[in-house]
Amino acid sequence: MAGFKVAIDGPAGSGKSSISKNVAHKLGMTHIDTGAMYRAVTLLAIENQIDMNDESQYRFLEDVQITYKDDHIYIGDRIVEKEIRSKAVTDHVSLVSSFPYVRKKLVEIQQKLGETNNIIMDGRDIGTVVLPDADLKIFLVADVRERAKRRQQDKQNQGYEVDIEKLIEEITRRDQLDSQRKISPLKKAEDAIVVDSTHMSLQQTVKKIIELIQSAKGVINE
């Protein structure tokens, strides 16, 4: 699968990262979770106690290295996977990712990573902005209540109890913020294939996407 690139986009809680990671492992591809990068910037903004509404204060990105490799997100040499999943980061990541400067810096990093052979990159603007020439574009969706159930299960597995109605409210708000932002809003690329995972398990969704990749690869090789 030399040089094959897959872009997977979709709303919050649709399972993009878990599914992409599974597919990548099964096919021997490199997985890149761009959402984790925006969460890392948000974590830094919180830790640095900046005015998060002031775009000019994100210039700290000039002196910070944020990378995603081997299924780990790094700030410098620090792995921050647990910290970036905090409620504070979740509550502010849509705001942080709405700033043109932040998006410009991270898209540059993501496009550089996209030069790697055989990649699956997931996020909200991969097929439209980061990898517009991807060999396969998938727009992964799921009913908001189902997404909330999955998020609730994740939290319970971490030892937290979360009200599902509150999660539905948070996810709905996130959808609105991501879809309405002026810079790189969440939207389906014209040539993307929609995969609705509402009534599919993780493994069923992984199987479906692997079939789409194999089919797309077959077309390219014809």
Q: Which residue has the higher pLDDT, 101 or 178?
A: 101
Tokens 């705001």 locate to 95
User: Over 90: is that where the pLDDT of 178 sits?
Assistant: no
| Mean pLDDT of the 156-161 span | 85
140 token code pair:
């992964």
Q: How confident is the model at residue 46 (pLDDT cuts 50, 70, 90)?
A: very high
198, 208, 204, 85: which is closest to 147 by C-alpha? Answer: 198
3-state class of 200 per DSSP? coil
Structure tokens at 111: 């496009």
Tell me the per-residue pLDDT of 13-25, one tens digit each, with 9 for 90 and over.
Answer: 899 999 999 999 9
Mean pLDDT of 181-201: 92
Return the closest-CA partner of residue 106 out of 89, 92, 123: 123
**Nearest to 99, CA basis, from 25, 37, 184, 189:** 184
Using a pLDDT cut of 70, give the percent of the chain over it: 97
Structure tokens at 44: 């830094």
pLDDT at 193 over 70: yes
Q: Could you tell me if 106 and 66 are in contact, meaning their C-beta atoms sit under 8 angstroms apart?
A: yes
pTM summary value: 0.87
Work out whether the CA dihedral 120, 124, 125, 128 comes out positive or negative. positive
pLDDT of 205 strictly over 90 = yes
From the list 53, 50, 54, the residue with the least C-alpha distance to 64 is 50
Q: What is the pLDDT of residues 121-158, one digit of tens each?
A: 999 999 999 999 999 999 999 999 999 999 898 888 88
**Taking 70 as the threshold, does the pLDDT of residue 165 lie above it?**
yes
Q: Is the pLDDT assigned to residue 221 strictly greater than 60?
A: no
- Band of pLDDT at residue 188, cut at 50, 70 and 90: very high
Structure confidence at residue 104 (pLDDT): 94
- Summary mean pLDDT of the chain: 92
Q: How confident is the model at residue 1 (pLDDT cuts 50, 70, 90)?
A: very low
Q: Rounded mean pLDDT of 206-213?
A: 97
